[in-house]
Structure 1
Amino acid sequence: MKWEKVRLGDVTDSCLGKMLDKEKNRGEYQLYLSNKDVRWGSFDLEHLDLMKFEEHEEERYGVRYGDLIVCEGGEPGRCAIWKDQIPNMKIQKALHRVRVHEGLDYRFLYYWFLWAGKRGELQQYFTGATIKHMPGDKLKSVIIAKPDIETQRQIADVLSAYDDLIENNQKQIKLLEEAAQRLYKEWFVDFRFPGHEDTEIVDGVPDGWKKGNVGHLFKTVLGGTPSRNIADYWGGDIPWINSGEVNKLRIIKESEFITERGLNNSSTKLMPKHTTVLAITGATLGQVSYTEIETCANQSVVGVYDETGEYSAYIYLCITNEIKKIISEAIGGAQQHINKEVVNKFEILLPSFDVNERMKAIVVPMFDKITNLYFEIERLSEARDRLLPKLMSGEIEL
């Protein structure tokens, strides 16, 4: 089957979002998507910002179901399909809105971008020596190969079946995480834990609990990076993470590994399974994850763990709940950061052994379910990615 090669500008309408200018912008405040909110195939809608938009700008900067939202900078070409997750959404200038014409399936176009991004094919359309961008004229000049519309839909149906399952797992993860956080708030913030009616509270501390600093109660570890100039420091079997990877609830596998020699000759330290890790600098400042593997990390990550393992789940729930207070001490201009000592001196309450055990009986199965869902997402993603090049190249005909 011969596929037609077309310019993206001939089969879609596209435009950049609105420039954020607090002095000049007029209208009513509305939510908008920025570059940081767009992932491959999904959106992070937890921390959206507001910008003023006027009524006549609704059509130009508004997004509809089926629009492809494409990053102009950061990681140019990274994109996701908008599915009306939030009504009346707008976009900021760092994003392109791409709307397909008749004869082009928006899902097929997304998978073309995903495939092209994995192969590095989009780089020929980037500008800039150090900071890469894909401006509007370059986006319009992108050449894609497309089969007839029915074949496009069949390809999209196969690939989106995997992504639909992934999305369903992600929703389940979100619900489980929210349930665990609600329990934390009820038991450890509002003090409505089992037996609270008969527990005396003195100076804000329930009987049998204790107050202390994170660094006094638990073990804290600052990461480090083995020298990149020494080859046998890298490529071993010890997982190593950076702060950019601390953006998911569970860390179950890593792409970089160091050797034992690299570990012994650097400031990075091993952190056991079930360590709570938090990013302490840069764009991911304040992100918190929970490791399901023994790992080490770079110097932008602090790990907190209980050497006995008894309070591992509590540490994660506590740090996640209190992270805004912890990073409120961040310093710096463009590159905000905290250090290990800020984490060490942060004061928390440690529940009694009995209350912690009752919490674990409820929360740990939730954590196990979340971990299993992450592994399932990995398997589905790998299966989809094996099919992606075969379908998008026409190697497999449907």
Structure 2
Amino acid sequence: MNSKVINKIKKAIIESPYPVPESWAFTSLQNLMTFRNGYAFKSKDFNEDKNGLPVIRIRNVKENKSDLYYDGEYDSKYLIKPGDLLVTMDGDFIASIWTGNISLQNQRVGKVIVNDKYDKTFMYYIINPLLKEINKKTEFVTVKHLSSKVINSLPIPVPPLEEQKRIVNKLEESNRIINEINFKLNQAKKLIKKRHDALLRKAFNGELVPQKEEEEKAIDLIKKLEDSRNRERKKKIAIKTLCPNHYPHPIPESWEWVKISGIYDMQTGATPSRSREDFFHGTIPWIKTGEVKWNEIFDSEEHISEEAYLKSSVKKIPANSVLIAMYGQGVTRGRAGINKVEVTTNQAVCSLINNEHIDSKYTLYFFMEGYKRFRNLSVGGNQKNLSAKLISEFEFPLPPLAEQKRIVECLEKEFEDENKTLKLIEIAEQNLEKMRESLVWKAYRGELVEQRPEEGTGLELLKEIIIDIFS
């Protein structure tokens, strides 16, 4: 062994950051692998028609699949095959063994080419907690970047190769059990969601609580609603009920089908001029659709001034009204909430003004039950929206007020029990992830499996690797 190789071995050995078994060594990651950065493929050659090869971007590393393809020239060294170890170098840093199809390695995706004498799967398990630590240290950095220099300098344990394999087997078996438990917990959540939806359907079919003969009928409630709504109106209204032949589904005899516009006064909001910065330095809550999420609303992200209220078409919405998000990306459109204080809203929120004859929570649950159905009624081009006119035409099953309150009470009791169970499931999932992390850290410190003298030492293995590199 020449002096150059001896010096390389001496430099390769670093101090262990943690107490580890005597048979182990520690070295920098650069001594155990070759790191290859990705390539900035020209976006003009990207397509979603599956022409060419898939391109692995940062988001694809965890998903192990890509729907974006590249149809142009490339260097074969940027080909990624199943089993290759990848690292994301922007955002949240993770390592993953690629299980997707043969693909191309895009920029800011790193490939770790592990020395044949070191177990690649062991490397995958060891790198991830180190990347997680880097994530924590850069938590408040707006744009996070991981450099090749940082990757190369990561402190990596070197157990004997056979011990690495035993550690991997232990981790894989533990992960299999954890994944099985997680699967069962996920199935339990699906059953709870299924039961939740069934309870809502029963509620609005009139099957959740029994009807009571001594309670007034919905038709009597409608008369009170008419009197109440006509009290300050010049043009009197008459609330129309649906003919039984047009019922969306059967309901108890004491109920009636009506339209939302028949039982609620409705308002939409507005946005004061953004050119007046002082308009948004007030104390009046101003609600946007993102804040409407099946919740009770006590305050808002933004507030407007009294002058903004007076100089715009914004309207004040009395407490205990039902607010409905008409626009919004993702899950926002169609959600409802109840304002517990007087508020204003922007134009994307429709308010059903609180009245004493309808329980606001009953109406909230009505929108919850019909959430998917109402979203499908949305209209528009690229972004479908609800409208106040559309909402006004929704058909509403109206029970007597006392029964509305009993339905709400029953649902809230059931949902409270559901939430307790879901919280326990969430705690179990968190504990399983802590267990998974704990097992990896035990592996990192040499505490997961016993050491066997006949398997040699990590120092001997590290010497073999260095000699292999420089021979």
Partner of 1:320: 368
User: What letter matches 2:409 in structure 1?
Assistant: A
CA contact (8 A) 1:304 1:315 kept: no
Which whole-Å CA distance do the structure 2 matches of 1:97 and 1:182 have between them?
A: 45
User: What letter matches 1:297 in structure 2?
Assistant: T
The aligned runs of 1:263-342 (5 Å cut-off) are 263-284=309-330, 286-294=333-341, 295-308=343-356, 310-342=358-390
Helix, strand or coil: the match of 2:48? coil
CA contact (8 A) 1:68 1:80 kept: yes
Which whole-Å CA distance do the structure 1 matches of 2:372 and 2:294 have between them?
A: 17
CA contact (8 A) 1:276 1:288 kept: no
Partner of 2:202: 186
CA contact (8 A) 2:333 2:386 kept: no
Partner of 1:237: 283
**Do residues 228 (structure 1) and 253 (structure 2) align?**
no
Which whole-Å CA distance do the structure 2 matches of 1:364 and 1:305 have between them?
A: 22
Which whole-Å CA distance do the structure 1 matches of 2:296 and 2:35 have between them?
A: 40
1:227 CA drift (Å): 1.0
TM-score, normalised to structure 2, is 0.45
Partner of 2:394: 346
Gaps of 5+ in 1: 1-9, 27-33, 36-49, 71-76, 83-87, 126-138, 150-172, 372-398
Which whole-Å CA distance do the structure 1 matches of 2:312 and 2:299 have between them?
A: 22
Helix, strand or coil: the match of 1:240? strand
1:58 CA drift (Å): 9.8
Note closer, same or farther for the CA distance 1:195–1:109 as it changes in structure 2 (3 Å cut): same
Which whole-Å CA distance do the structure 2 matches of 1:182 and 1:351 have between them?
A: 19
CA contact (8 A) 1:278 1:303 kept: yes
User: What letter matches 2:286 in structure 1?
Assistant: W
| Partner of residue 257 from structure 2, selected from 211, 229, 232 | 211
**Do residues 255 (structure 1) and 301 (structure 2) align?**
yes
CA contact (8 A) 1:13 1:101 kept: no
Which whole-Å CA distance do the structure 1 matches of 2:138 and 2:149 have between them?
A: 11
TM-score, normalised to structure 1, is 0.52
1:319 CA drift (Å): 1.0
Note closer, same or farther for the CA distance 1:253–1:175 as it changes in structure 2 (3 Å cut): farther
Which whole-Å CA distance do the structure 2 matches of 1:319 and 1:272 have between them?
A: 19
Cα RMSD after superposing both structures: 5.8
- Report which stretch shifted further, 258-267 or 340-349: 258-267
CA contact (8 A) 1:274 1:290 kept: no
User: What letter matches 2:260 in structure 1?
Assistant: V
CA contact (8 A) 2:297 2:337 kept: yes
CA contact (8 A) 1:313 1:360 kept: yes
Which whole-Å CA distance do the structure 1 matches of 2:89 and 2:397 have between them?
A: 43
Partner of 1:377: none
Partner of 1:43: none
Which whole-Å CA distance do the structure 2 matches of 1:61 and 1:249 have between them?
A: 46
Spell out, residue by residue over 1:55-75, the C-alpha distance to the aligned partner (whole angstroms, 9 max, x if none): x99958999xxx9998xxxxx
Q: Work out the number of aligned pairs and report it.
A: 286
Partner of 1:393: none
Q: Which has the higher contact order (CA 8 A, sep 6+)?
A: 2
Greater C-alpha radius of gyration: 2
1:202 CA drift (Å): 5.6
CA contact (8 A) 1:209 1:351 kept: yes
User: What letter matches 1:193 in structure 2?
Assistant: L
Partner of 2:22: none
User: What letter matches 1:102 in structure 2?
Assistant: I
1:340 CA drift (Å): 0.9
Spell out, residue by residue over 1:305-363, the C-alpha distance to the aligned partner (whole angstroms, 9 max, x if none): 43227421111111122133323332322222232101111111112223212113233
Gaps of 5+ in 2: 1-33, 41-45, 60-65, 70-78, 111-123, 157-188, 218-242, 420-471
Q: Which has the higher strand share?
A: 1
1:15 CA drift (Å): 11
User: What letter matches 1:194 in structure 2?
Assistant: V
